[in-house]
Amino acid sequence: MMADMGVIGLGVMGAALARNLIDHDTKIIGFEPVGDTTALKRAGDIPMADSLGEMLHDLSRPRVILMMVTAGAPVDAMINQIQPQLAPGDIIIDGGNSHFLDSQRRAENLSIGGLLFMGLGVSGGEAGARFGPAMMAGGAAEAVQLIQSLLLPIAAKSADGSPCFDHFGPAPAGHFVKMLHNAIEYGEMQLLAEIYGLAKYAGGQGNGDIADLFAGWSTATYGGYLVDVSAGVLRQADDQTDRDLIDQIAPIAGQKGTGRWAITAALDLGQAVPSLAAAVFARSLTARAGSQTLPGPVGLADPLTPEQLYGAFALAKLATYEQGFQVLNAAAESYDWPLDLPAVARVWRAGCILRGPLLETLARRVKNGVTQIFDASDFKDLSHLRRLLASASASGISVPVLAASLSYVEGLSSDRPTAQLIQGQRDAFGAHGFERRDQAGVFHGQWSPIEGA
Ligand code: 6PG
């Protein structure tokens, strides 16, 4: 019998997705391009072809090929190898974390030969891929129609039973949505790290206390998977010493690029994403941490209560998500994608790293074309976030995403603007012009000569 889908790349994610597909009665044939013995062992029970040609031969038409290879050059290399052996109507799905512009280029190139290309963002790590990932698809409607009967059954299901799979527009749109998922992921992870730092260094709390704090938020609106992961990491014992593992992990954060790509895309789209950017910068800065000796930190005489910490986290987390949705909204408008923002929130409700109760709220709150997701009631936590920033400054704890989120929220306020000075400066030295509050039009000041340097 012919196979329904070929899976190229049986690494951690590829093998887990293949098994998930097999569990849902999809006939799979795998191929491991680098002949990696670990991957082949991992493939185990997955039927494997010895060559690309054999895999392609064993696939029913049109052939559906899921590539789970490392993003970047390996994807192009594999496409170049496979393309001459495919026929019009065959579909290549890239399920890696590819850059959305690469997906656009690949789709355009492949379409010349009548091949269909789909960029598929897959979230949830190995467990998600194995038992239910969230999937963000981009590609021609024709290709999505053909493969969704294979992907819908393996997707995570939200509480209302709907599968966490959706189609967000042409080929680059799926990877674009996944890129913003990751940027928000970076933001939330950094927020949790900052609260850990504040509780540990200024509050004098132990790992177990901080784990309890996070565990207490687990099912609250702003809890969710990353909060649970953080509690679990803080409770883990080291298997080589008698210490907690967290205290043995070198404090240098890694990153593979999706967060950084999201910031670049946001800048290109003219969007303000201070919290998302601060999270990327914070990771980069960890490479230089320890290069200076500073006084402090100072323990706080009056540490924040768990309620204050939760309130501050809640507002900062919402600010981070709002920035992500702003970028998605701007991309939909600027690239003319039919990218449905409420559908993004729905897809993120289960399976992915961002999953948690907040996504249920956002699925109801997010609107297409509406540029903010705050509700007036969210600002009840503003006093907690302000208080947290004051405490962090007083005790010398670096909290870049909490700070950026507070400044973002304060920047949305209309009653304490400062851009009038920017406009005055621009006009005073460069005659750039400004608008007035009391009259329409563009004006110039009759600036007195600037004295001094
Ligand atoms: C997921 C994750 C995953 C992602 C890394 C980010 O949704 O399953 O977002 O796909 O690539 O978590 O990795 P770095 O922190 O190494 O950049």
Whether residue 353 has its Cβ less than 6 Å from ligand 1: yes
Cβ partners under 8 Å of residue 284, min gap 6: 255
Is residue 9 lining ligand 1, measured as CB closer than 6 Å?
A: no
> Cβ(185) to ligand 1 under 6 A?
yes
Query: Residue type for 67, please?
Result: M
- Which is the closest atom of ligand 1 to the Cα of 354? 7
Binning pLDDT at 50, 70 and 90, where does residue 325 land? very high
pLDDT in the model for residue 163: 98
The chain-wide mean pLDDT, for the chain, equals 95
In this predicted model, what pLDDT tens digit does every residue of 227-277 receive, in sequence order?
A: 999 999 999 999 999 999 999 999 999 999 999 999 999 999 999 999 999
Q: Would the CB of 123 count as within 6 Å of ligand 1?
A: yes
Ligand 1 atom at minimum distance from 257 CA: 17
Mutate to test the pocket of ligand 1, among 182, 276, 284 (most ligand atoms within 8 A of CB): 182
* 125 ligand 1 Cβ < 6 A: yes
Cβ(326) – ligand 1 distance below 6 Å: no
pLDDT value, residue 256: 95
Can you tell me the distance from the alpha carbon of 103 to that of 337, in angstroms, rounded to the nearest whole number?
A: 14
C-alpha span between 132 and 157 (Å, rounded): 7
Q: Which amino acid is at 254?
A: G
Cβ 164 under 6 angstroms from ligand 1: no
- Summarize the confidence of residues 326-341 as an average pLDDT: 97
Q: Determine what percent of the chain falls in helix, strand and coil, rounding each to the nearest 5.
A: 55, 10, 35
Residues contacting residue 270 through CB under 8 Å, at least 6 positions apart: 330
Pairing of strands 64-67, 28-31: unpaired
Q: Does ligand 1 have an atom closer than 6 angstroms to the CB of 279?
A: no
* CA-nearest residue, atom 12 of ligand 1: 182
CA of 255 from ligand 1 middle (Å) equals: 8
Buried b (16+ CB within 10 A) or exposed e, 373-385: beeeeeeebbebb
Band of pLDDT at residue 296, cut at 50, 70 and 90: confident
The amino acid at residue 214 is F
443 class by beta-carbon count within 10 Å (0-12 exposed, 13-18 middle, 19+ buried): exposed
Q: Measured at the alpha carbon of residue 370, what is the angle toward residues 368 and 374, in degrees to the nearest 5? A: 120
pLDDT at position 453 over 70: no
pLDDT digits (tens, 9 = 90+) for 372-431: 899 999 999 999 999 999 999 999 999 999 999 999 999 998 788 999 999 999 999 999
**And the tokens for 370?**
């509406």
State pLDDT tens for residues 79-134.
999 999 999 999 999 999 999 999 999 999 999 999 999 999 999 999 999 999 99
Place of tokens 């967290």: 246
**Inter-helix orientation angle 225-235/171-197, to 10°:** 40
Measured over the CA atoms of residue 317, residue 318, residue 321 and residue 326, the dihedral's sign is negative
Q: Which residue from 335, 324, 362, 346 is spatially nearest to 179, judged by alpha carbons? A: 324
Query: How far does residue 259's CA lie from ligand 1's centre (Å)?
Result: 9
Residues designated catalytic: 178, 185
Cα of 190 to ligand 1 centre, how many Å? 14
Question: Is 215 exposed, middle or buried, given 0-12, 13-18 or 19+ CB atoms closer than 10 A?
Answer: middle
Q: Is 254 in the pocket of ligand 1 (CB under 6 A)?
A: yes
What is the residue with the minimal CA distance to atom 4 of ligand 1? 182
Nearest C-alpha neighbor of 95 from the set 179, 169, 13, 40 = 13
Residue 367 has pLDDT above 90, yes or no: yes
365 CA from centroid of ligand 1 (Å): 26
Cβ count within 10 A of residue 436:
11
Do 312 and 388 meet the contact criterion of CB atoms below 8 Å apart?
A: yes
Tokens of 268: 């290109």
Residue nearest to atom 15 of ligand 1 (CA): 255
Ligand 1 contacts CB of residue 70 (under 6 A): no
- Dihedral sign, CA of 411, 414, 418, 424? positive
Instruction: For 224-290, give the DSSP string.
Output: SHHHHHHHHHHHPBPSSSSSBGGGGS-S-----SHHHHHHHHHHHTT---HHHHHHHHHHHHGGGTT
d(CA 320, CA 388): 17
Mean pLDDT of 162-177: 98
Angle subtended at Cα 289 by Cα 208 and Cα 310, rounded to the nearest 5 degrees: 40
pLDDT of residue 9: 95
- Closest residue to atom 14 of ligand 1, CA basis: 255
Q: Is the CB of 258 under 6 A from ligand 1?
A: yes
CA 225 to ligand 1 center in whole angstroms: 14
**50 Cα: distance to centroid of ligand 1 (angstroms):** 30
For residue 128, give the ligand 1 atom closest to its CA: 8
Task: Quote the tokens at residue 161.
Answer: 């039973």
Can you name the residues that pair with 3 across neighbouring β-strands? 59
Query: pTM for the whole thing?
Result: 0.96
Model confidence at 303, in pLDDT bands (50, 70, 90)? confident
Pocket test for ligand 1, best of 68, 97, 181, 284 (most atoms within 8 A of CB): 97
Judged by DSSP in three states, 418 sits in coil
Q: Which of 331, 319, 321, 356 is nearest to 168 (CA)?
A: 331
Centroid of ligand 1 to alpha carbon of 208 (angstroms)? 26
